[in-house]
Structure 1
Amino acid sequence: MSEQKLFAGHAVRRIRRANGLTQALMAEALEVSPSYLNLIERNQRPLTATLLLKLAERYDFDPRTLTGSTPGGGVEAIRRRLSDPMFADLSIERVQIEDWIAASPDAAEAFARAFDRVSGGSHGSSGVGEAGRTATIEPESIASARREIERWRNHFADLDAQAEILADELRLANPDLYGAIIERLRVKHQLSIRILPFDVMPDNLRRLDLHARQLQLSELLDPASRTFAAAFQLAMLEAKSEIDALVAGASFTERAGERLYRRHLTSYFAAAVMMPYARFLRACETTGYDILLLQRRFGAGFEQIAHRLTTLQRVGQRGLPFFMLRIDRAGQSSKRYAGASASPLVETDRRCPLWHVHNVFARPGTLLPQLVELEDNSRWFTLSRTVHPQTAVSGAVEAEFAICLGLDAKLAAPLAAARGVDLETGAATAIGLGCSACTRPDCPQRSAPPAGRVLVFNDRERGMSPFAFDRD
């Protein structure tokens, strides 16, 4: 293997600290000198491909994440934050930022998070943003649950392992998964399933009646949703100890975040029963991650498949590192999973209108692929489509959301949806992370100038963008 250079000292340092190792102990394990490891951690020596393989063999991490784990999003992202008028008198040069990230990566990351929280520039922000507008506020309960999910990169190995065993037992009992779950609930837990008319249960999709020993499901649920609801109940009964252990290990300080996290873990187990890890990954690889085929093969909905694709991070048996985003017509996100993708497209609450995730509402049910390129030249291949939760009746509001799946374009070649697309040099849609964070000068779709840039006015000219600004 060629010795391809990669400067990722901050990531190596985090791996070492996470495993409780000194530089001397890690250097011994990697068969290098402590002084050489020290230079690597300070980004004064590259992390070669050979050393990267040694790290991957000895420690539990995905080497693909090193390219996307730069503190604060990297030099350009830190520079954008430092372009805010509050720093105008400091004249901080690029080389200083590079030195800072190399010498103190955690401090750079802390600055980025603090700035984003104050300015409203990223998910989880609060306070007042530019022009005095109140920034988007994510409740702490949701933020704390999401932090814990992302800490695990949305992969819970113990739950997957137990779900696979259970799924195999169910398949032996009955090839129809829904029927097998019904029988399991009846025989082992003395619970029956009853489908109730909408007028009998108008306000719920699922309800457990312990007095009648019934799991009651609404007739509004389609077959995939009924199977998931039954598997969710089975998860609460048969994965309780494993879920309790994960929740206890998270040490939540408030009840709502803990309950949200528990619900996520229960849903995770239910999805893992419907789509057992090894069988699902094998199907992904043989079909080119064809979502429509996967839906039919596993009897699952589009959103269920999309979420499952973000969880494929089993050591030694990893799938592609997808991220997933769910938004409504107003652009508000209700689900976001970065998984192992390390994509900035997930973290921000401000998105580019040129991104197809906003356009699919005009083409409901159509899967729209798109190759996009951010200002840091990173390319992402995304798939967007609308979904309609099973809650609507005639005359009532029909909910509609857009689901977006994406991954680094460098890794997208195996996708059936990417066939024929030049992922490396082909035409890509140039997008940003919201107008206030985007410095592309000639975008006719721009709705606001970039934060921290001085507006330039010329009555004799009118450019492509309604806002001309200083580009330095």
Structure 2
Amino acid sequence: MPHTRLYAGERLRALRRGLGLGQPAMAARLGLSVSYLSQLENDARPLTAAVIAELRRHHPAETAAIEGEAPARRMGALSDALTDPVLDAPLAPDAIARLAIERPDVADRVIALHAALRDADARVQMVEEVLASGVGARMPWEAVRDWFHEAGNYVDPLDRAAEALAGEIAGTEAVSEAALARRLATEGIAIAESADEEAPMRNFDAARGLLTINAALPSESRRFLIAHQLTATVFANQITAIVEGAQVGSDAGRTLLGIGLANYAAGALMMPYARFRAAARALRHDIDRLSRRFGVSFEQACHRLSTLQRPGAEGVPFYFCRVDMAGNITKRHSATRLQFARFGGACPLWMVHEAVAIPDRILVQHAETPDGVRYVSMAKGLVKPSGSFTRAPRRYAVVLGCEAEHARDFVYADAIDRAAPPTPIGISCRLCPRSDCDQRAFPPADRAIRVDPAVRAIVPYEVT
């Protein structure tokens, strides 16, 4: 068999970001130019023997994992590439397996081309959304959201550190508020309550070493806010290093990223990776049962499931988002092929809109996007009380879904008749190419329309 070329751009990028290093620092560590490192990370070049030797010297465990999992990763990536819906006639599984085994050099090139195609599609979509929406540069919040998305919504050093901290303060038990408070006290920080419902959810006075929590908050929110303060304190150096290596464009963006990383670590502390992943598998991702077992909210459990992307121990690839009453997507991440609209509303056929209006009821949906990929999803409307009649409660819905091939591991798929035609959904009206949708709010930005004054259909124009 010819020597196998190893393309590991995604893993190399994840390693660098996990170390909190920018490309110049990582390139210097490996004795490479920044441009060459960029080509490696984008799978434009394979890892050479010299590069692998440097990786082994600095990061032996990570390099061994990359090399050891290469055949399985190649098979999976090649299958994704050659069964992509863009192809009219995908290859049979046995043909894909033969190609991966007999011609790994060709297989790696196909995988690199497929990755480049998906990256180009994502960039084109971003440009089209900006043009269609009239929105210019990214706001700091969007820059931070995009940073987490590009990191795969998984931050390895923080995740592992939080998992170790959970073991230190709670062993194999759920992380309780008392355990969090005891550990926070060793950092010189006490906890107090504010009975004023107008007070912030949390307020930290660093000079006094006092964390004040709004007494009206539910227990899950209290624990999370205390966990946030603990991780922000204990992991301050790691968080600072990651922020300094990130490219989020502004001081506000860097501050928001620091907060986001502390939130990430708090979730990882409350739901330690290995135990949470094992429980999720055993319970077939039943969110209510996971919430009770780990003492977290429904939304927190959903969000954590979307972060289970540890190399070599990945969870089911999910997409997750939170949508408010106006249809704005306020949280989003996708480890699937489904991508969310950056601007404007979501598809009106998506069940999330109904879920917002019907709190505490779980809805399920079998849907198909224009690229032919099918998803099974669940959505639940939630209400966060304001604590006062004079302020409206916050209403929103969370959505968690996976590609239909993972339905056997997703308990909510049991309520779906997957033999029935799926609901045809899109990303947003401005980006959806479907020409036969009578729920369309706007024509697609890149297509012409035809209007016949003698005919009035539900949609008053025809997409050509």
Matched ranges for 1:276-291 at <5 A? 276-291=272-287
Deviations 1:43-71 (A, max 9, x none): xxxxxxxxxx998713997976777789x
Cα separation, partners in 2 of 1:105 and 1:267, compared to 1, 3 Å: closer
**Cα–Cα, structure 1 residues 175 and 316, in superposed 2: closer, same or farther, change >3 Å?**
closer
What pairs up with 1:194-213 in 2 under 5 angstroms? 194-198=192-196, 202-213=198-209
Give the deviation of 1:266 after TM superposition: 0.4
Structure 2 residue runs of 5 or longer lacking an equivalent are 12-38, 53-64, 89-110
Q: Which residue of 2 aligns with 1:170?
A: 169
**1:113 and 2:123 equivalent?**
yes
Aligned to 2:31: none
Q: The residue matched to 2:264 in structure 1 has which SS?
A: helix
CA distance in 1, matches of 2:255, 2:394: 24
Q: Are 2:435 and 1:441 aligned? A: yes
Tell me the amino acid that sits aligned with residue 363 of structure 1: I
- Aligned residue number for residue 70 of structure 2: 58
Amino acid at match of 2:143: S
Give the whole-Å Cα distance in 2 for the aligned partners of 1:175 and 1:75. 47
Paired residue secondary structure (1:435): coil
Compared CA separation, residues 371 and 174, structure 1 to 2 (3 A): closer
Q: Which of these residues, 255, 261, 264, is aligned with residue 259 of structure 1?
A: 255
Question: Using a 3 Å threshold, how does the CA distance of structure 1 residues 111 and 385 change in structure 2: closer, same or farther?
Answer: closer
Give runs of aligned pairs for residues 21-40 of structure 1, distance below 5 A: 22-23=45-46, 25=48
CA distance in 2, matches of 1:107, 1:411: 24
- The amino acid that maps onto 1:191 is I
CA contact (8 A) 1:323 1:406 kept: yes
Root mean square deviation, CA, Å? 3.8
For 1:254, give the aligned amino acid.
S
The AA in structure 2 aligned to 1:352 is C
User: What is the letter of the counterpart of residue 223 of structure 1?
Assistant: S
**Shift of residue 467 of structure 1?**
2.6
The residue aligned with 2:148 is 149
Partner of 1:388, secondary structure, is strand
Measure, in 2, the Cα distance between the counterparts of 1:375 and 1:369: 19
Gaps of 5+ in 1: 1-8, 30-52, 77-100
Say which SS state the counterpart of residue 224 (structure 1) adopts: helix
Query: Which residue pairs with 1:343 in the alignment?
Result: 338
Query: 1:288: how far off?
Result: 0.5
Structure 2 letter corresponding to 1:446 = R
Q: Tell me if 1:234 matches 2:238.
A: no
Q: 1:329 Cα deviation (Å)?
A: 1.7
Going from structure 1 to structure 2, the CA distance change for 1:412 and 1:144 (only over 3 Å counts) comes to same
CA shift for structure 1 position 457: 4.5
**Which residue of structure 1 aligns with residue 245 of structure 2?**
249
- SS of the equivalent of 1:327 reads strand
CA distance in 2, matches of 1:348, 1:60: 37
* Pairwise CA distance, 1:248: 2.0
Q: Compared with structure 1, are the counterparts of its residues 215 and 108 closer, same or farther at alpha carbon in structure 2 (3 Å cutoff)?
A: closer
- Aligned-pair CA distance for 1:74: 5.9
For 1:89-104, list aligned pairs within 5 A: none
Matched, 1:269 2:269: no
Figure out how many residues of one structure are paired with residues of the other and give that number.
398
Range with greater deviation from structure 2 (380-389 or 292-301) = 380-389
Counterpart position of 1:321: 317
What code does the residue aligned with 2:40 have? R
2: distance between equivalents of 1:320 and 1:291?
14
| Pair 1:455-2:449 in alignment | yes
Report which stretch shifted further, 395-404 or 438-447.
438-447
Aligned partner of residue 258 in structure 1, secondary structure: helix
Conserved 8 A contact 1:170-1:177: no
Shift of residue 307, structure 1, vs aligned partner:
0.9
Where does 1:358-437 land on structure 2 (aligned, <5 Å)?
358-389=353-384, 391-419=386-414, 421-423=416-418, 425-437=419-431
